[in-house]
Amino acid sequence: MICNFLIVQYIDCQTDTNSIAKDSVKVRSSRLTIGGYGEAVYKYNFYSDNMFRYSHAENYASSKGHGRVDLPHAVFMLGYDFGKGWSFNSEIEFEHGGTEAAVEIEAEETGEFEKEIERGGEVALEQFWIQKSFLDSKINIRVGHIVVPVGGTNNAHLPSEFFGVYRPEGENTIIPCTWHETGIELWGKVKGWRYDLMVIPSLNSNMFNASGWIHDGSASPYEFRVANKLAVAARVDNSSVKGLRIGVSGFVGNCFRNDIVTDSKSTKYSGVKGTVAIAAVDFKYQAKGFLMRGSGLYGWLSDAGLISTYNASQVNSSQSPYPHTLVGKAAWSAGFEAGFDFFSLAKNSSRVASQKFFLFARYEYYDSYIPVADATPYPWTERHCISGGINYRPIPEITIKAEGGLRLLRSQYNKEPWFALGATWAGFFKRDFVRKHNKNQ
């Protein structure tokens, strides 16, 4: 499908068009689009989240656990088609119903409470860009605040695009997710291919840590994003085979001293670049009621030992935004999920014609900290996650989820079982256009 109109561009360029509605847009009667997505979640962890649960695991083996409610994401989108190939889109995101400032427990510090500021401001502006399209969207130039589609989750992060109540753990732990930066992007679609190439600010190695690798590297506690160094991100997807989409993506950028505090007079770290290189592959396959998704990601950081030393030497005050912890030379994740829509067996029933009921299973493995030689090991960063559950979709925009899972760490640590319920939506409040069913969609 060619992205002729803004609403098509919004869905198809950052997500799978089937994730919000199975109908494709053919004729528009309004230039304004209003929509969004969100999740409301209840989760019970049958294990302790005490700050010492890894350093003194034996003391928490019989913990009764705890329950919690959450609003992981509430996102509102406003878009407009100016005409003559010019369009605009924006997304305002509220994470966990708050202001993106919280007190967190840092397990790698064996019990230190830290006030985390994930991004300056009270809300996150996830997208805010203008775009010029050429040749029926074969070529598009986008400038502004854009999503960086590196990895499977960043490319497909709506709650209708994964079975779990929460986003997949691996990529959501080791890289920014949802990753969004201010930059310039060139993208387009040609037959069964889609390409993305973007230039964005590089990450800030001062924000790297053991529990999340480079996850916090795109965050900025300031009223601006430091851009002393730039990076390149790219993605290519192919959908030539019916029901199958395969994508490869990557990122390369030097991240050392990409901050307002650069200590430029010191020669101790001369030559240190802190290059982050990420390579990822992901796929989706859907046919005859089956839906499968998978992804794999490997990331590498040069000079990780020197960066760890440098980060530890930074001023450590109650107002410092930096974690001051070790960072690994590499991190990786791999995940696979498969589900079957049982309502697809009742194709001739009008009662379930537009409904879906998936039974699914998921497996995931990731490690956020592959240390350099002689560095302090953190074995608890290596994890296996097994889960399964149901997704009930009464209408294309609403999904009700239930999921039970088990997180497995190395043998010296306790198992971490959990159960979660979620109610999610992804759709549009204002859709003033004519929809026509497209069976090839």
Residues in the chain: 441
Average pLDDT, the chain: 86
For 267-276, write each residue's pLDDT tens digit: 788 889 999 9
439 or 335, which is more confident: 335
DSSP assignment of 153-191? HHHS-SGGGSSSSS--HHHHHHS-TT-EEEEEEEEEEET
Q: Is pLDDT at 285 greater than 70 in this prediction?
A: yes
| Model pLDDT, residue 219 | 87
The stretches of 253-356 forming alpha helices (DSSP H) are: 304-313
- Burial code (b: 16+ CB inside 10 Å, e: under 16) for 231-264 equals bebbbebebeeeeebbbebbbebbbbbbbeeeee
65 close to 121: Cβ distance less than 8 angstroms: no
For 187-227, write each residue's pLDDT tens digit: 999 999 999 999 999 999 999 999 999 999 998 878 889 99
For 349-364, write each residue's pLDDT tens digit: 777 878 999 999 999 9
Q: Report CA-CA distances (Å) from 59 to 51, 396, 411.
A: 12, 46, 15
| Model pLDDT, residue 260 | 84
| Model pLDDT, residue 85 | 94
| Model pLDDT, residue 50 | 87
CA dihedral 263, 264, 268, 272 (to 10 degrees): 100
The domain segmentation of the chain, as residue ranges, is 6-265+272-436
Give the right CATH number for 6-265+272-436 from 3.40.50.1100, 3.20.20.70, 2.40.160.10, 2.40.50.140: 2.40.160.10
Q: Enumerate residues 6+ apart whose C-beta is below 8 A from 268.
A: none
For 219-258, write each residue's pLDDT tens digit: 887 888 999 999 999 999 999 999 999 999 999 999 998 9
| Model pLDDT, residue 161 | 97
* Token pair in block for residue 306: 């020197």
424 close to 19: Cβ distance less than 8 angstroms: no
